[in-house]
Amino acid sequence: MGFVHLHGHSTFSFLEAIGKPAAIVNKAKELWMSAIAITDYNGMYGMVKFYQLAKDAWIKPIIGVELGFVMDVNSQIPEQQIGNIVIIAKSKEGYQSLMELTSFANKEGIKWKSKIDLQALRTLWREIICLFGGTNSWVGKMIALDEKESKILETIHLIQDILGKENVYMEIIAQDYNEVSEAKKTNDSIIALAEKEDIWCVVNNNYFYPSASDRQAREVALAIKDGLKIYDESRRKPKGKFHIMNEDEIKEILENNGFEKKMIHRLIETNEHIADQIHTEIDLNQTLFPNYETPEDVKKLYEAYQDDLVVKE
């Protein structure tokens, strides 16, 4: 099967990532992957194209989105403290749920940060899987703020009650701890939480560009988004490797970080387990505009107008 990426971004994450859906599918094909996900920030703009291209390449398209998550959208939380949740559709119904959640998130968001809350999940979820992991996730933000474990677990339990425990996963981010030192604290805490609560974990490196050679192009995109030049010292220079990695690269990073081979195997198998559950079909080549009936008074005006034209002719 090859490694299955469940968390990654395309050019439709708007200057946070580069790589059109075609480039991502081509890279997956080059690495002999049977499935790959795109989970863009705040929107699903590239999903139909991604779906078509992946299907044509005989690769299973895993459709997802990464949104901001808070307990209550009406709470006043600073933008930088809003962590993310990755949501993946399991089916056509899940895909429709993603669209509804994404619309809600952008309507309720602040500035560039979309957000959903527990009530939105409770109301709008259908056939979806969620992942929590990485320094920018909701769990990651709580860990960085040294939030009490009991409070984190309380929220996770609430989400499990809504989605079902089998649809909630923790996420290990495969980045070299020598380069991305903050990843160690997050990963260690997530592993401890997962083991304590018997929650399955997945592993991703959270890709932002297709190939390793695209790293500088992504940095240029980040500079443009932030209104800076590539030579500005204050520009964002992300540490780590964020290309679409193959399985050997993922394994090597985890081994160097001290993970046991048995655990690495289990993490990779869990990614495959999720991919096997996903059967999302999108109906294409159809008109989805609603059919509005013409009001009777408008029909009568039209008929009178037609009769008037006949008389004049």
CATH number at 171 reads 3.20.20.140
CA 168 to CA 309: how far, in whole Å?
A: 65
- The pLDDT value recorded for residue 310 is 54
- The pLDDT value recorded for residue 89 is 97
- The pLDDT value recorded for residue 180 is 93
Q: How many structural domains are present in the chain? A: 1
Q: For 197-228, how does the pLDDT look when each residue is reduced to its tens digit (9 = 90+)?
A: 999 999 999 999 999 999 999 999 999 998 99
Residue 147: give the domain boundaries: 11-282
- The pLDDT value recorded for residue 36 is 98
- The pLDDT value recorded for residue 303 is 74
- The pLDDT value recorded for residue 295 is 84
- Pick from 190, 92, 93, 205: nearest CA to 139: 190
Q: Is residue 288 part of a domain?
A: no
Q: Is residue 147 part of a domain?
A: yes
For the chain, residues with pLDDT lower than 70 are: 1, 110-112, 286-290, 305-313
DSSP per-residue string spanning 5-22: --SB--GGGSSS----HH
Q: Is residue 3 part of a domain?
A: no
Q: Is residue 114 part of a domain?
A: yes
Q: Is residue 17 part of a domain?
A: yes
CA 137 to CA 131: how far, in whole Å?
A: 9
Distant-in-sequence, close-in-space partners of 95: CB < 8 Å, separation ≥ 6: 47, 63, 89, 280, 282
Q: pTM of the prediction?
A: 0.88
**What are the CA-CA distances from residue 288 to residues 61, 200, 283, 284, 291 (Å)?**
22, 38, 10, 10, 9
Q: Is residue 293 part of a domain?
A: no
Q: Is residue 233 part of a domain?
A: yes
- As beta bridge partners, residue 65 has 40, 87
Place of tokens 């009777």: 296
- The pLDDT value recorded for residue 77 is 80
Q: Is residue 297 part of a domain?
A: no
- As beta bridge partners, residue 173 has 204
